[in-house]
Amino acid sequence: MIRRRVVQIIPVIVLATFVVFGLLQLVPGDIAVTLAGDNATDARIAQIRQSYGLDRPFLVQYGTWLWNAMHLDLSRSYLSNEPVFDQIMHRFPVTLLIVGSALALSLIIGVPFGILAATRPGSFLDTAVTSVASLGVALPNFWLAMILVATFALSWNWFPATGAVALSRSPSQALLHATLPAIALAASGVATVVQQLRSALIEILSSQYVRTLHAKGLSPAAILWQHGLKNVSVTLLTVVGLLVNRLLGATVVVEAVFAIPGMGSLIVHAAVHKDFPVVQGVVLSMVVIVILLNLLIDILYTVLDPRVALK
Amino acid sequence: MTGFLRWLRSHPPAALSLLFLVTLFVLAIMAPVIAPYSPTKQDVNNTLAEASWQHWLGTDDLGRDVFSRLMYGAPITLYASFLAVIVGCVLGIPVGLLAGYLGGRIDDAISRALDALLSFPAIVLAIGVTGALGVGLTNGMIAVGIVFSPQLARLMRAQTLVVKQELYVDAVRCFGASLPRIILKHVMPNAIQPVIVQVTLLLAVALLSEASLSFLGLGVQPPQPSWGAMLARAYNYMEIAPEQMYAPGLAILFTSLAFNTLGEALRVALDPTRKRR
Amino acid sequence: MTHSIDGLDRRAFLALVGAAPLAVTEARAQATPKRGGVLKVSAPSNPSSLDPTTGGAGSDHVFLYTMFDTLVAFDYATLQPVPGLAESWSYPDDTTLVLNIRPGVLFHDGTPCDAEAVKANFDRNRFDERSNVKPDLATVADVTVTGPQQVTLKLKQPDTALPLILSDRAGMMSSPKAFKELGRGHDRAPVGAGPWKFVSWADNERIVVTRFDQYWQPGKPYLDGIELQVIPEVNTGLRSVIAGQNDFVYFLSPQQKTVIDRAKNLTSVTGPTLYCVLLYMNWGRPPLNDVKVRQALNYGVNREEFNQATMNGLSEPAGITLPSAHWAFDAAMAKRYPYDPDKAKALLAEAGYKDGLDLLALGYTDQRHIQRQEVLIEQYRKVGIRLKFQNGTIPEMTNAYMVEKKGDLYLSAWTGRPDPSQTYQLMFAAGSFYNTSRVEAVPEIGPALLETRRYADIPSRKKAFAGLQKIVTENALLVPLVFQWELDAHGPRVKNFKPNLLGKPKFENVYLEG
């Protein structure tokens, strides 16, 4: 099973890389001319075309690019001439910290409330939790980020308003800097966890199987802990996969609000400045993270639920 | 129709959401007629003013009426949301139908491609595309639509797999109906309901994506007003006039909440397992 | 003229320039500067390059000044030339400039900064393929080493602007060993002879410099190092200082004065600068090849309102490219185009645009610039000019306008040059980069430009500039809008920071307390 999944993701990764590389083909006009910039002579344009391999057929360019990417060579930034891979590795820890914290917050807050709501469907608590969750999903995270900055950083001075500190430099400072961005990101994450967990649990708890257990005289708490949550862990895994994808997108805007030098601000800056290797590099690394995480989740499914493996 | 009205009466949140959205559409279309001011009319001597009888939501940094700008921003915001969702439908629905109906290797190949596209965070791909094509709302939202398409395709495929097993589809097939005819006339109408639900929910996601892109300066270009761009400007005045960020933020929040609430209500109403119970 | 400082009429210079109302923050008595500490600065942009020769952005200087000393330095308040790496200079005749290089100065890599090194820098600046300072040194015919510490410049024509030009990029000395060995790499690992030496540059993130122990000025610098954090959004930058993460932020927008005043423990620093917000025009093709249209653009803009709306009223409306504090300011020309929408409309009608005129302008995407654009769109709409903006980043749009010749107008800014003749030369001379038409708007421009570099004394130079300014203004070759006053803010530990008329902060005198 695991081997089959691993084999299956190869075409997915290839297709995703194809899309990433294809971005370059969207550039209107001759990209070599765009790159050459100021006072470009024909010779300079030709030189650029050759050095970036733009004169070769598309598939050859793609193949070379993919081969290099597999060897962690994502070419160099047009702007700074630094290796793109180094730039990404430099910024990845910052983004990882806030996305990771946001994910943790989403689960820590979302799971208990999801369970509470699901075990008392229709109650006041359930209504309150689901209403807040709907708000959380609809909330623009960067707007929440702005409100958090205005309140907790600018008015009350509890947290820093901008920037990031590496965990390796000062763990406490790093967490302090990551708190507000992580909360801003986690709002929709908490809401998603609550919604998905609640509906999955309600479905399980109302199933024929659980009703039989009730009839057998098992206490509701025992049913919840022994059967409900075990089944629900699969849902939770799916939600984590979904959340990481969403958080990686959302972090781009939240990083802008807090001026955090992470992957998000890297790609925004690169997109505005037409620094294509960096744009491609960031998109590629985010996609690869999502794909590999989904693979990991699929593998965990089989561990948690052996029936999946048999299918 | 009367059935729909009855349903609305028994579902106040859905009714309220629908009412809100209809009002928004009317305001969006009628903005030039009913907005109290031009969205670009400046009054340098009355900037960052608080709410008053003259300016119901105050004025912005150039003394422009915030309420009027919100109204003029609505059509742009709605245009962007629908553009993304329509692109998603146009690409996603046919692909899903084909994959589900034809099955086999084609289905396998399409499913892999969908997996690949689903791995892209929507905003990130949209930023990549605007980087290549140039800054602008339309480019960005088309990219968002492309990221939406696999979600719709998957849903369509799953539904098609169910519907094509139905007896009547077999029946028309036996009568020798052509493939496009079977798919368009018999499979799609019976498989589209969950897609409609998803489309409503995606409108909210698209709305938030538009706001994000415009906030980053990659979307709407001045002097067009957009809620996201208004927030970007308000960001500059957070210390002096924090109230500047409330109106556009709430507009985005309520609209996306309305799309979500309506979508969820539709999902419940259209869910076959619920009906049976 | 034997020595430029003596040669300049010092009193006239001070009377004209020293009148600048320099608001210096701390009036209290000077304490003895303390050594030590790292200054943390929020910088609004990533440098285009850290090599003074190859870079191009006006915002690079703040970074460059930390690592590079110039041949000639300038007085903060007056922009008067004072000795730098050259301890003295003289014009034995009209077309010869002799520079006497200060002995015992070392580059950060230990190479001596002697006459040979200075000549190597001149050669590179004048001939290197990647040099961006060639136009600054266009009047230099030949550079020879005439002593171990003496360089003699032969000029093609009289050029009294050179000493001040050598206080800019062209006078920033790099280690010849470094730029020969590193080539392009010197952009990112510069070696100068300034008070601090380069440590690291993480793109769009941080530039770090640390004390150079063998710096030629004894006891200096006071700071152990400077960390310049790149925060493109000035609001965020200011927030970082309010929150105490950084000590200093510069190039703030005037609206932020309110914020600084409200914050406890924050000191604001303001002063006049040469930084001019303006619209460039492409007079080389229709419709802006018609002087009436260009004049209409000047009459149609309400500079007072622009100042009020975009600068919080804290800047100086600009009629010409020099602020009123500058010694070459010409009051009559500055008032040539008062706000007169009717006149603007009439001129447009005369030019054949009775039903209005569509113009494409290029600009930048950040909110401050978008705000300026929105004000201009609205003002010009009232006189029948339909302005449309196409936006991008500074390098992208500069290239699009100046090289690819897209757009009729370009809403940008001129950061100023130490010698005003540089400004006029770069903007109006045939073939100059900032003259997108690449042709002279009128033939009188060329001779008038030469005239400004012929005399060494201030009154004669002022007269020459008045003549040139009249040509530029009558032909309406620009739409100057406002001079943005410098606005910086710093926290309580920062002492002894003083702004300069150039408007680009220098940290050489700054020290930290507490």
Q: Residue C19's pLDDT band (boundaries 50, 70, 90)? A: very low
Spell C172-188 as b/e; 16+ CB within 10 A means b.
bbbbbebbeebeeebbb
Q: What is the mean pLDDT of residues A252-272?
A: 89
Q: Determine the pLDDT at residue C384.
A: 93
Best mutation target, C239, C305, C367, to test chain B (most B CBs within 10 A): C367
d(CA A109, CA A17): 35
Sheet holding C385-392, edge to edge: C316-317, C478-483, C276-281, C409-414, C357-364, C385-392
Q: Determine the pLDDT at residue B257.
A: 94
Positive or negative, the CA dihedral A102, A103, A108, A113 is positive
Q: Determine the pLDDT at residue C511.
A: 94
Which residues from C are below 8 Å from B232, CB to CB? 367
Residue type for position B188: M
The length of chain C is 514
What is the nearest CA distance from C385 to chain A, expressed in angstroms?
A: 29
Contact between C393 and A273 using a beta-carbon 8 Å cutoff:
yes
pLDDT in tens, C194-249: 999 999 998 888 999 999 999 999 888 999 999 999 988 788 889 889 878 899 99
Looking at domain C10-46+203-273+486-512, its CATH class is alpha beta
Q: Which CATH superfamily is domain C72-176 in?
A: Dipeptide-binding Protein; Domain 1 (3.90.76.10)
Give helix B66-102 / helix B12-34 axis angle, nearest 10°: 130
Chain C residues with a Cβ under 8 Å from any Cβ in chain A:
184, 188, 202-205, 229, 231-233, 236-237, 239-240, 242-243, 245, 365, 392-393, 395-396, 399, 403
Residues 6+ apart with CB under 8 A from C509: C33, C222, C496, C497, C498
pLDDT of C11 above 60: no
Phi then psi dihedrals of residue C147, to 5 deg = 175, 165
Q: Residue A96's pLDDT band (boundaries 50, 70, 90)? A: very high
CA A267 to chain CA centroid, nearest Å: 14
Q: What is the pLDDT of chain C when averaged over all its residues?
A: 87
pLDDT of C145 above 90: yes
Q: Where are the domains of chain C?
A: 10-46+203-273+486-512, 72-176, 276-483
Of the candidates C232, C239, C399, the beta carbon closest to that of A161 is on C239
Q: Which of B151, B120, B130 is nearest to B213 (CA)?
A: B130
Contact between B42 and C375 using a beta-carbon 8 Å cutoff:
yes
Q: Residue A306's pLDDT band (boundaries 50, 70, 90)? A: low
Q: Determine the pLDDT at residue B273.
A: 57
ipTM, 2 dp = 0.88
Question: SS3 for C146?
Answer: strand
Given a contact cutoff of 8 angstroms between Cβ atoms, the answer to whether A2 and A302 are in contact is yes
The two beta strands, C38-43 and C248-249, are parallel
pLDDT of A308 above 80: no
Contact between B204 and A274 using a beta-carbon 8 Å cutoff:
no
pLDDT in tens, C48-98: 889 999 887 778 999 999 999 999 998 887 777 889 999 999 989 889 999
Of the candidates A11, A138, A268, the beta carbon closest to that of B112 is on A11
Which residues from C are below 8 Å from B235, CB to CB? 235, 367
In chain A, what is the greatest distance between 2 CA atoms, to the nearest angstrom?
85
Q: Determine the pLDDT at residue C5.
A: 32
pLDDT of A220 above 50: yes
Q: Which of the pair, A119 or C305, is modelled with greater confidence?
A: C305
Of the candidates A19, A256, A268, the beta carbon closest to that of B116 is on A19
Q: Determine the pLDDT at residue A34.
A: 64
| DSSP classification of residue B59 | B
d(CA C81, CA C76): 10
What are the tokens at C237? 């930058």
Spell A178-212 as b/e; 16+ CB within 10 A means b.
bbbbbbbbbbbbbbbbbbbbbebbbebbeeeebee
Q: What is the mean pLDDT of residues C287-316?
A: 92
pLDDT of C15 above 70: no
Q: What is the pLDDT of chain A when averaged over all its residues?
A: 84
Q: Residue C175's pLDDT band (boundaries 50, 70, 90)? A: very high
Q: Determine the pLDDT at residue C322.
A: 87
pLDDT of C408 above 90: yes
| DSSP classification of residue B62 | T
Q: Determine the pLDDT at residue C22.
A: 37
What is the nearest CA distance from B8 to chain A, expressed in angstroms?
A: 19
Which residues from B are below 8 Å from A282, CB to CB? 124
Question: SS3 for C350?
Answer: helix
Which residues from A are below 8 Å from C396, CB to CB? 273-274
Contact between C204 and A153 using a beta-carbon 8 Å cutoff:
no
Of chain C, the end-to-end C-alpha distance in Å amounts to 48
CA–CA distances in Å: residue C49 to residues A35, A267, C497: 17, 21, 25
In B, minimum Cα distance to C313 occurs at B44
In C, minimum Cα distance to A33 occurs at C404
Q: Determine the pLDDT at residue C70.
A: 96
- Residue position matching structure tokens 């049913």: A223
Q: Which of the pair, A227 or B160, is modelled with greater confidence?
A: B160
pLDDT in tens, A117-155: 988 888 899 999 999 999 998 999 999 999 998 888 877
Q: What is the mean pLDDT of residues C247-252?
A: 93
pLDDT in tens, A50-90: 766 777 788 888 888 888 888 888 888 877 778 899 989 98
Of the candidates C231, C243, C403, the beta carbon closest to that of A160 is on C243
Q: Determine the pLDDT at residue A140.
A: 92
Q: What is the mean pLDDT of residues C451-457?
A: 82
Q: What is the mean pLDDT of residues C251-278?
A: 86
Q: Determine the pLDDT at residue C23.
A: 38
Chain B residues with a Cβ under 8 Å from any Cβ in chain C:
40-42, 44-45, 47, 61-63, 135, 217, 221-223, 232-233, 235-240
Q: Which of the pair, C198 or A12, is modelled with greater confidence?
A: C198
Ranking A205-219, C284-298, C492-506 by mean pLDDT, the lowest is: A205-219
Residue B113: how many other CB atoms lie within 10 Å: 20
Q: Residue C495's pLDDT band (boundaries 50, 70, 90)? A: very high
Is A81 touching C (CB cutoff 8 A)? yes
Contact between C374 and B223 using a beta-carbon 8 Å cutoff:
yes
| DSSP classification of residue B277 | -
Q: Determine the pLDDT at residue A40.
A: 55
**Which residues on neighbouring strands pair with residue C93, listed in sequence order?**
C96
Contact between B239 and C262 using a beta-carbon 8 Å cutoff:
yes
**Which residues on neighbouring strands pair with residue C228, listed in sequence order?**
C41, C207
Ranges of residues in chain B whose predicted pLDDT is under 70: 1, 222, 271-277
Which residues from C are below 8 Å from A160, CB to CB? 240, 243, 245
What are the tokens at C123? 């050669």
Query: Which of these CATH numbers, 3.40.190.10, 3.40.50.2000, 1.50.10.10, 1.10.3720.10, describes B15-31+53-271?
Result: 1.10.3720.10
Q: Is the CATH code 3.10.105.10 the one for domain C276-483?
A: yes
